[in-house]
Structure 1
Amino acid sequence: MKFNKKETAVVVVDPQNEFLHEMGEGYKLAKDVVKANNTIENMISLLKTAKENRYKVFVSPHYYYPHDYTWKFGSNGEHMMHQMKMFERKGPSEAVEKNSRADILDEFKPYLEDGETIIASPHKIFGPQTNDLVLQLRKQKIDTVILVGMNSNICIESHMRDLVEQGFEVYIAKDATAAPGEEAYKAAEVNFGMLSSGSLTTEEVLERLK
Structure 2
Amino acid sequence: MSQTYDPRRTAVLLVDPYNDFLSEGGRIWPRVEAVATQVGLLDHLRSVIASAREAGVHVMFVPHRRWEPGDYGTWDHPNPTQRGIMERHSFARGTWGGEFHPDFRPRPGDVVAREHWAQSGFANTDLDMQLKQHGVTHVVLVGLLANTCIESTGRFAMELGYHVTLVRDATAAFLPEMMHAAHELNGPTFAHAITTTAELTSAFGAARA
- Which residue of structure 2 lines up, in the alignment, with residue 92 of structure 1? none
Match of 1:40 in 2: 42
Answer whether contact 2:72 2:78 (CA < 8 A) is retained: no
Partner of 1:187: 181
Cα deviation, residue 184, structure 1: 1.3
- Could you list the structure 1 runs, at least 4 aligned residues long, displaced by more than 2 angstroms after superposition: 64-67, 69-73
Looking at structure 1, the residues matched to 124 and 46 of structure 2 have their Cα atoms a distance apart, in angstroms, of: 27
8 Å contact from structure 1 (residues 169, 197) kept in 2:
yes
Verify: 1:198 aligned to 2:202, yes or no. Answer: no
Structure 2: which amino acid aligns with 1:16?
Y
Q: Distance in 2 between matches of 1:23 and 1:156?
A: 23
**Number of the residue aligned with 1:149:** 143
Please state whether the residue corresponding to 1:101 is helix, strand or coil. Answer: helix
After TM superposition, give the deviation of residue 34 of structure 1 in Å: 0.5
Any gaps of 5 or more consecutive residues in structure 1?
90-95
Give the length in aligned residue pairs: 199
TM-score (norm 2): 0.91
Partner of 1:93 in structure 2?
Answer: none
- Structure-1 separation of matches of 2:26 and 2:128: 28
Q: Which amino acid aligns with 2:177?
A: E
The aligned residue for residue 166 of structure 1 is 160
Q: Which secondary structure state, in structure 1, belongs to the residue aligned with residue 28 of structure 2? A: helix
Q: How does 1:57-206 map to 2 (within 5 A)?
A: 57-62=59-64, 63-72=66-75, 73-89=77-93, 96-97=94-95, 100-109=96-105, 112=106, 114-127=107-120, 128-189=122-183, 190-206=185-201
Does structure 2 retain, via aligned residues, the 8 Å contact 1:120–1:133?
Answer: yes
CA distance in 1: counterparts of 2:134 and 2:158, whole angstroms: 17
Q: CA RMSD in A?
A: 1.3
2: distance between equivalents of 1:5 and 1:161?
Answer: 22
Give the SS at the match of 1:130.
coil
| Superposed displacement of residue 2, structure 1 | 2.3
User: 2: CA distance between counterparts of 1:42 and 1:180?
Assistant: 18
TM superposition shift of 1:133: 0.9
Percentage identity across aligned positions?
Answer: 28
Deviation at 1:65, TM superposition (A): 2.4
Which whole-Å CA distance do the structure 2 matches of 1:64 and 1:40 have between them? 24
Contact 2:147 2:181 in 1 (8 A): yes
Quote the Cα distance in structure 2 between the aligned partners of 1:165 and 1:24: 33
Q: Residue deviations 1:6-52, cap 9 Å, x none?
A: 11111100011111112222211111011001011001001111111
Could you tell me how far 1:150 is from its partner in structure 2?
A: 0.2
Distance 1:188 1:78 in 2: 21
C-alpha deviation, 1:139, in angstroms? 0.8
Q: Which residue of 1 aligns with 2:30?
A: 28
